[in-house]
Amino acid sequence: MSSVKKYINRDLSWLEFNRRVLEEAEDTGTPLLERFQFLSIVQSNLDEFMSVRVAGLQAQSKAGYLKTDFTGYTPQGLIKRLMKRTTRMVREQYRTYRELLKLLAKEGVALTTFRDLHEDQKALMTDYYKRIIYPVLTPMAVDQSRPFPLLHSKELYLAVVLKEENESINQEDEEQTFCAIVQVPSILARTVLVPGRKNSRKLSYLLLEDLIKEHIGLLFSGYRTEAVHSFRVTRNSDLTLNEEGAEDLLQEIEKELRRRRRGLPVRLEVEKGIHSDALELLRDELELEEDMFDEIDGPLDLGFLSKFVGMLPNYDHLRYPKHEPVYPEEFDETDDMLSVLREKDVLVYHPYESFEVVNDFILEAAADPDVLAIKMTLYRVSVNSVLVQALASAAESGKQVTVVVEIKARFDEARNIAWARQLEKAGCHVVYGLVGLKTHAKITLVVRREADSLRRYVHVGTGNYNENTARLYTDAGLFTSHPSIGADATALFNEMTGYSTPHLWSSFAVAPIGLKPKLFELIDREIEHALAGRPARIVAKMNSLSNQSMIDKLYEASQAGVKIELIVRGVCCLRPGVQGFSENIRVISIVDRYLEHARILSVAGGGNDEVYISSADWMTRNLSRRVELMCPVYDPGLRLMLMNVLHMNLQDNVKARELQSTGAYLRVKNENPPLRSQFETADIPLWKSIAAAYE
């Protein structure tokens, strides 16, 4: 089999993932307002893809890079194929949007136009425009004395084409047009509620840009408006850091954040029917290739839909049923979590179980006079985080608090800098990771004085310490006081904050040096078991699989007879189901109400099952350019609990799609009773009872 056919291209695989998200918006079984939410996610996903992945390919193309990747594509060839598929997907996205608007109108909510309003409503909206919107707007003329303005990435603008109203001008001058640009202020809500008419229960909304368009003439006295259309630019948003040469990493990142606003344009979206003069101006100034231009039949940037449907009152019947995470029963009746952990390990699974348990773990440690030290890694943290406040409080009370902050977390850099400085002011020892590596591991270490010794308590997670995303992402978290895990946790923090040489881990596997070899070791053991006729099986759940050598190792295991089942939400470059090559590998993806985010590995071990949780996907960046952590689950009941979660994922025949050898995904269909794994997993007593049987 040729190397090109062995692998699926990473970026094409990503587009297939975003198409699966779009399918959730198209699915009539998905509640109406949730369908709008999925459309919004498609937009935000595509924006990031363009500003990072496509931007990187464009940079390679402009530099004359002609080599093919391991899937056989040159940057130039891949860009053309990506943009062709993206254009097709965007058309589907807006077709779905128009269909959903019709359904929403039947429910009494309409996105309308100014011209469709009654006269009294028009008067009220004009008054709103003059009072609230007009004072915020800044018209920016483009001529010889006023150069083309800096257009911020992913902001919405209006291109205005004008002619002078002076009647005395000659025929030649009359043809002259003038162009101006107006930014649609992002500080104002994108949708404006129109005051309802008497006895009407219908809710009507106007898009902010449409209201501005209707009154655009007020900004340009002495000119008449020939045309006004929306447009939007996406720029290269990836940071280029010289970490080794930076005297102060925070200052270097702040400098790069300012440069990000001036990144090279990678995509131009314009409203359908845009005036030719405006389009020519934009193309000339932005210097974009023909295939990086999209004409959109509808409002630009459907990301506004998330906030729009989120604020609609009294429409819960059009949403998923409310789900309140439960507090883990192991800690439910105690104010002393650490005493529980002295007796047993506890595993929690978000969002079905509350993230409050993690907050409480830190809060309890911060208040405990016998706790001497708290050490924690932070990657993406929510606004007003309880954890940040608890760590600051612990430091102020005299505890040794060390926080390893990853300020290079893409698009969260500014926020991370802000609360890192907040922690420093409180007396925390803040470390900004390791040069050249991102710190992506999710771990907390609490050191407590007990009797004549010290005991270490550890939390290891698969997801970020973020209260908000913990309600939307599925993630596992292990609480333990296991001695070898505690010793490894101490060694890991020493490596991240000091000059320690790589540790000989007794429990952990840590990237960038030890994680990939450990995974290879586990796979090789399964190969040996298969060849010896013993039980040999690998089940792995992750967000992405793209590392070539990992894929090759899985191919080797398949050919040795190891049964491999992969639950990969997003990118998967492995090609399953090829006879004589990968026929023992099955890959599914689940896109549903929650974002599948947990990284879990289960190996049969010849009949002695082993289960691990990890922060790492099987991508090159995770395995070789980040500090990542994989931790074993020692408790047999907890191992079975996670294996049961994996089993339910694999049995899903409602929201699961299976990857075909062609690279396409098809919905799983079989004769089994319908099983929707996310809903089944919500039945916490079911899988918690498994653990209880092994206590």
Q: Which two tokens stand for residue 336?
A: 């002393």
Tell me the three state secondary structure of residue 507.
coil
Q: Which amino acid is at 641?
A: M
Q: Among all chains, which residue has been given the structure tokens 């049969």?
A: 604
CA 52, CA 40: separation in Å to the nearest integer?
A: 19
> 3-state class of 605 per DSSP?
helix
d(CA 89, CA 670): 28
| Residue 182, CA distances (Å) to 66, 158, 186, 415, 500 in order | 40, 5, 12, 28, 55
Catalytic status, residue 459 = no
Residue with tokens 């960046």: 621
Q: Which amino acid is at 10?
A: R
Residue 578 is encoded by which pair of tokens? 């090829």
Distance CA 268, CA 289 (A): 10
Distance CA 687, CA 682 (A): 9
* Tokens representing residue 221 in the block: 């006295």
Q: 563 and 583 in contact (C-beta within 8 Å)?
A: no
Distance CA 235, CA 256 (A): 14
Please report, to the nearest 10 degrees, the dihedral formed by the alpha carbons of residues 593, 479, 550, 496 taken in order.
120
Active-site option among 440, 459, 482, 597: 440
Contact between residue 661 and residue 643 where contact means Cβ atoms under 8 Å apart: no
CB 360 within 8 A of CB 337: yes
With CA atoms as reference, report the closest residue to 646 among 594, 685, 687.
Answer: 687
Total Cβ atoms within 10 A of residue 564? 22
DSSP state of 628: E
Neighbours of 35 (CB within 10 A): 24
Helix then strand then coil, % of the chain, to nearest 5 = 40, 25, 35
Of 234, 230, 235, the residue nearest 278 (C-alpha): 230
d(CA 459, CA 475): 13
Distance CA 74, CA 83 (A): 14
Q: Which of 41, 192, 29, 34 is nearest to 104 (CA)?
A: 34
Q: Is 518 in contact with 487 (CB distance < 8 Å)?
A: no
Whole-number Cα distances in Å, 2 to 5, 7, 571, 635: 5, 9, 21, 44
3-class secondary structure for 245-297?
A: CCCCHHHHHHHHHHHHCCCCEEEEEEECCCCHHHHHHHHHHHCCCHHHEEEEC
Q: Residue 469: name the closest of 305, 327, 595, 303 by CA.
A: 595
Q: Which residues are catalytic?
A: 440
